């Protein structure tokens, strides 16, 4: 009798199952608009040229070894990453009240932050603190906070399906009604999966309510630079909240903007009231990290650190490579909208160019999505989310036509 | 309200966390300006010049990988398949019936810590037995908080005998015989951390029989395969024996020490199941567990390890280098014991030679450790553990003198 005989088969993670199904499909015109990774116009993964350069430098540097990093990670990486989020001239950094934990991707940063909040926020070990995530949100947010021990994870209004935009009044209403001290997970830019971000005015309104109602700000920043092509623009919301005096967390990912997906490069930036609080916070972060992974992997952090801390490499990354990716996505957005309008596809398609970042919430319903996959061999998430990076000059006509056929055949 | 918020922080109630005892030793060492200082704290291998050692098979593997110019796409949640396969093969043996029948699931993890944590989380969620995990007394300091954070409770069985600085065989058996059925028992596969004391094969056999009788779930921690005796298969003997005896074990492996890949975080977690179907179910649940921690593991280290394990020339270079590291440690043990005799110590230091692996439980008391640190700048953990890897032919005499001074 096995002790594991009762272990049930768990359902596959949807986004990875989609790619698996895509791989098995033999249709010559199949298109994968599922998983969120950048693709070139040849639909190939892209290792950033600056990353290739820096990796070579690392391999050739015989003074480097594979020793353990400190528990909180590579110091030069942590400080440079926080600077990217908060700005070179950030007053909070000057005031020595910004710290960071190098983490395994954005996921790892969220998890460490979540574990910390569950132990030390709003009392000690208060698993009842409500955690609010947007409706919809990245599908892993729920599990991260649930596994961190929180019992009450709730949606806040975000996507308005009717107007295909942000439900700002619903969002503000949820902020007004949330219990004091509730945690809100905010997408800093390029909201996943909708691609719909608050305007600066809307961010100001959100901040005002959150301050008044004593709500905690946890930013998820996975696309800085990738969204608009500008690091500053994409970090505007984070910096605004910091300037308004909030103590907050930012879970940063360098998976997309550095194309370092599989090296798991992330950073949890902590903005505290003062250095004394920060010191105690970081000491407890160490304890959490020590029982999760002891210390983080060094390769990816070295690459990012070298790049961010060297002006020429920084420029090559930012002005060169990041801009290339952001521009291609913007081009695909323009072209997809134009083609749908030219085809006379029913509905409005402005949201495609109004939305930002890797993803677009097309507005296709589950039946339409199923049709797209089964009949057109165009793979997208059941939510109607498409990865713009999966579009190329070679497949965009087919995709536009497929959307047109789907919308006119299936209600 | 706003004024209060300006003054008030969310974090007023956050206590200052205590410094990590093991990693804290390195930090104190760094601050010391004594030219004769020795860092015998953290278990990272050093060569005879006291320098970190990057294995040549690792450098060769890195060059091969660099030339291939591979992409950086996400790995699956369970990691690099080639790595997982060879990781399991290394532990279980190429001719293992478990591998042939596909009744194991092996996933890539964030080195040994990550593997233990995944395992602890998995047991916490799915183990129907008692929530108690029985650790040897003493065990690696991080075992306790890992299992605690995963929601398990910790108990202990006697292991180290301070009277002999050896294995408390009868004490261990007596305690194990009282462990409630279906509880989890942690065993160090080889090179026990922190004591360096391993059971002999005939003692392992008795432990296996008793554990079987008590129907306990065995959790093996193998962080030093190859590093203990210098022989990969010899160091995995206990793990393989238990499996042969019918224990469906769970196993954590680390490549931090035996491949010197410390900061790349390379490890594996294995569950030996009844059959391939069960292994599939277990795999699906491990994925659900891993995804909300870090989504998928880092590529670099696993790629290096996999290249070494799967390229015959590199594999044999590796075996030689592991053997070399283990040999240097053994030599340092011999020199330390000889040095203590030479200093005129009348104490029995046989255990320095009998113990195995990176660590030596000297038998020093906390006050003696404190003196050794304060007066000789020899840094080690309070329990009297020294990392032999920090000992060189250049400083072993100094160490012997220091130990003698505080123990005479």
A335 Cβ contact partners less than 8 Å away, ≥ 6 residues apart = A391, A396
Q: Output the six-digit token pair for A259.
A: 């194309």
Confidence (pLDDT) at A218: 98
Using DSSP, state whether B219 is helix, strand or coil: strand
Q: B274 and A2: CB-CB below 8 Å?
A: yes
Confidence (pLDDT) at B1: 45
| Rounded CA separation A21/B221 (Å) | 37
B245 Cβ contact partners less than 8 Å away, ≥ 6 residues apart = B208, B209, B212
Chain B: nearest CA to A108, how far in angstroms?
5
Q: What is the CA radius of gyration of chain B?
A: 22
pLDDT at A88 over 90: yes
Q: From residue B242, give the alpha-carbon distance in Å to each of A322, B140, B187, B207, B247.
A: 53, 22, 11, 9, 6
Confidence (pLDDT) at B2: 46
Please identify which residue in the block is written with the tokens 């203990």: B228
Chain A residues 192-251 within an 8 A CB cutoff of chain B = 211-212, 214, 216, 245, 247
Residue B73 has its nearest CB partner, among A146, A262, A273, at A262
Which among B256, B20, B262, B242 is positioned nearest to B146, based on CA atoms? B20
Confidence (pLDDT) at A8: 80
Confidence (pLDDT) at A1: 55
pLDDT at A20 over 50: yes
pLDDT tens-digit map of B141-154: 999 999 999 999 99
* Average pLDDT rounded to a whole number, residues A158-179: 96
Confidence (pLDDT) at B136: 98
Q: A61 exposed, middle or buried (CB, 10 Å; 0-12, 13-18, 19+)? A: exposed
pLDDT tens-digit map of A198-225: 999 999 999 999 999 999 999 999 999 9
pLDDT at A273 over 80: yes
Confidence (pLDDT) at A16: 79
> Which of A107-116, A378-387, B315-324 shows the lowest per-residue confidence on average (mean pLDDT)?
A378-387
* Average pLDDT rounded to a whole number, residues A148-177: 96
pLDDT tens-digit map of B263-293: 999 999 999 999 999 999 999 999 999 999 9
Kindly report the backbone phi and psi dihedral angles of residue B70, in degrees, each rounded to the nearest multiple of 5, phi listed first: -80, 165
Q: How many CB atoms lie within 10 A of CB B353?
A: 14
* Average pLDDT rounded to a whole number, residues B6-13: 66
Report yes or no: A238 and A85 within 8 Å, Cβ to Cβ.
Answer: yes
Element (H, E) at B399: helix B396-407
Chain A residues 281-310 within an 8 A CB cutoff of chain B = 281, 283-284, 286-288, 290-300
What band does B66 get if pLDDT is binned at 50, 70 and 90?
very high
Q: B294 and A280: CB-CB below 8 Å?
A: no
pLDDT at B100 over 50: yes
A2-16, B40-54, B306-320, range with greatest mean pLDDT: B306-320
Report yes or no: B256 and B112 within 8 Å, Cβ to Cβ.
Answer: yes
Around B180, how many Cα atoms within 13 Å sit in the side-chain half-sphere?
7
For A13-16, which contacts have Cβ atoms below 8 Å and span 24 or more sequence positions? A13/A139, A13/B77, A13/B287, A13/B288, A13/B291, A14/A139, A14/A381, A14/A382, A15/A139, A15/A381, A16/B76, A16/B77
Report chain A's mean pLDDT, rounded to a whole number. 95
Query: Alpha helix (H) ranges present in A293-365?
Result: 298-308, 311-315, 323-343, 351-354
Confidence (pLDDT) at A2: 63
What band does B5 get if pLDDT is binned at 50, 70 and 90?
very low
What band does A3 get if pLDDT is binned at 50, 70 and 90?
low
pLDDT at B74 over 50: yes
By CA distance, what is B289's nearest residue in A? A147
What band does A384 get if pLDDT is binned at 50, 70 and 90?
very high
Please identify which residue in the block is written with the tokens 């391993």: B198
Chain A residues 6-65 within an 8 A CB cutoff of chain B = 6-13, 16, 35, 37, 44-47, 51-52, 55-56, 59, 65
Predicted structure pTM score: 0.95
Within 8 A of A284 by CB-CB distance, chain B residues are 14-15, 17
**In percent, how much of chain A has pLDDT > 70?**
99
Confidence (pLDDT) at B172: 98
| Rounded CA separation B217/B152 (Å) | 14
pLDDT at B193 over 50: yes
């Amino acid at each position: 009798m096995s002790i594991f005989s009762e272990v049930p088969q768990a359902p596959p993670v949807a986004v990875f199952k989609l790619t698996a199904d895509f791989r098995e499909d033999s249709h010559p015109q199949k298109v994968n608009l599922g998983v969120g990774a950048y693709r070139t116009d040849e639909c190939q993964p892209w290792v950033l040229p600056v990353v290739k350069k820096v990796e070579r430098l690392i391999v050739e540097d015989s003074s480097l070894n594979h020793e353990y990093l400190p528990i909180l990670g590579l110091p030069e990486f942590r400080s440079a990453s926080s600077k990217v989020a908060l700005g070179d001239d950030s007053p909070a950094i000057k005031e020595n009240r910004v710290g960071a934990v190098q983490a395994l991707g954005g996921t790892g940063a969220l998890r460490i932050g979540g574990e910390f909040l569950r132990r030390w926020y709003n009392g000690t070990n208060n698993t009842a603190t409500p955690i609010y995530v947007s409706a919809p949100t990245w599908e892993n947010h729920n599990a991260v906070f649930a596994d961190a021990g929180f019992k009450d994870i709730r949606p806040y209004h975000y996507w308005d399906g009717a107007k295909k935009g942000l439900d700002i009044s619903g969002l503000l209403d949820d902020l007004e009604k949330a219990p004091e001290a509730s945690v809100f997970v905010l997408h800093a830019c390029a909201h996943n999966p909708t691609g719909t971000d608050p305007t600066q005015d809307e961010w100001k309104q959100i901040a005002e309510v959150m301050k008044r109602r004593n709500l905690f700000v946890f930013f998820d920043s996975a696309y800085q630079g990738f969204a608009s092509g500008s690091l500053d623009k994409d970090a505007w919301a984070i910096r605004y909240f910091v300037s308004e005096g909030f103590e907050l967390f930012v879970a940063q990912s360098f998976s997309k903007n550095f194309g370092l997906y599989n090296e798991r490069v992330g950073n949890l930036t902590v903005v505290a009231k003062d250095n004394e609080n920060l010191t105690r916070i970081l000491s407890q972060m160490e304890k959490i990290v020590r029982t999760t992974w002891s210390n983080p992997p060094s390769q990816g952090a070295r690459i990012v650190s070298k790049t961010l801390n060297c002006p020429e490499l920084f420029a090559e990354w930012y002005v060169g490579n990041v801009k290339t990716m952001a521009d291609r996505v913007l081009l695909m957005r323009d072209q997809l909208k134009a083609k749908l309008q030219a085809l006379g596809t029913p509905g409005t398609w402005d949201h495609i160019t109004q939305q930002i970042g890797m993803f677009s919430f097309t507005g296709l319903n589950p039946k339409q999505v199923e049709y797209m996959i089964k009949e057109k061999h165009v793979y997208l998430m059941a939510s109607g989310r498409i990865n713009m990076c999966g579009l190329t000059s070679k497949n965009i006509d087919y995709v536009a036509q497929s959307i047109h056929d789907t919308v006119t055949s299936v209600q | 309200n706003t004024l209060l918020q300006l003054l008030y922080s969310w974090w007023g109630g956050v206590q200052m966390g205590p410094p990590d005892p093991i990693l804290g030793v390195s930090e104190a060492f760094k601050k010391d300006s004594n030219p004769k200082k020795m860092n015998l704290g953290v278990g990272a291998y050093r060569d005879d010049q006291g320098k970190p050692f990057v294995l040549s098979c690792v450098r060769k593997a890195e060059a091969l990988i660099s030339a291939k110019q591979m992409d950086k796409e996400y790995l699956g949640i369970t990691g690099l398949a080639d790595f997982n396969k060879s990781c399991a093969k290394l532990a279980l043996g190429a001719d293992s019936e478990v591998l042939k029948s596909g009744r194991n699931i092996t996933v890539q993890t964030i080195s040994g810590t990550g593997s233990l944590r995944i395992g602890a989380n998995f047991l916490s969620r799915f183990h129907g037995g008692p929530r108690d995990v029985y650790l040897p007394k003493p065990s690696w300091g991080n075992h306790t908080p890992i299992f605690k954070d995963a929601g398990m409770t910790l108990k202990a069985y006697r292991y180290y005998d301070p009277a002999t600085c050896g294995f408390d065989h009868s004490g261990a058996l007596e305690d194990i015989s009282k462990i409630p059925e279906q509880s989890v028992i942690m065993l160090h596969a080889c090179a026990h951390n922190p004591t360096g004391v391993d059971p002999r094969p005939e003692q392992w056999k008795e432990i296996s029989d008793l554990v079987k009788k008590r129907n306990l779930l065995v959790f093996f921690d193998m962080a030093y395969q190859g590093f203990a005796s210098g022989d990969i298969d010899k160091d995995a003997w206990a793990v393989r024996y238990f499996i042969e005896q019918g224990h469906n074990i769970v196993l954590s492996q680390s490549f931090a020490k035996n491949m010197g890949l410390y900061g790349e975080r390379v490890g594996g977690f294995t569950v030996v199941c009844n059959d391939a179907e069960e292994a599939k179910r277990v795999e699906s649940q491990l994925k659900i567990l891993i995804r909300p921690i870090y989504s998928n593991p880092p590529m670099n280290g696993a790629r290096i390890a996999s290249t070494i394990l799967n390229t015959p020339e590199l594999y044999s270079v590796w075996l030689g280098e592991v053997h070399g590291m283990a040999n240097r440690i053994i030599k340092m043990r011999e020199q330390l014991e000889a040095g203590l005799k030479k200093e005129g110590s009348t104490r029995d230091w046989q255990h320095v030679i009998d113990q195995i692996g990176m660590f030596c439980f000297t038998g020093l008391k906390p006050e003696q450790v404190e003196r050794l640190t304060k007066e000789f700048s020899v840094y080690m953990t309070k329990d009297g553990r020294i990392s032999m890897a920090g000992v060189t032919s250049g400083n072993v005499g100094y160490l012997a003198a220091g130990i003698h001074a505080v123990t005479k």
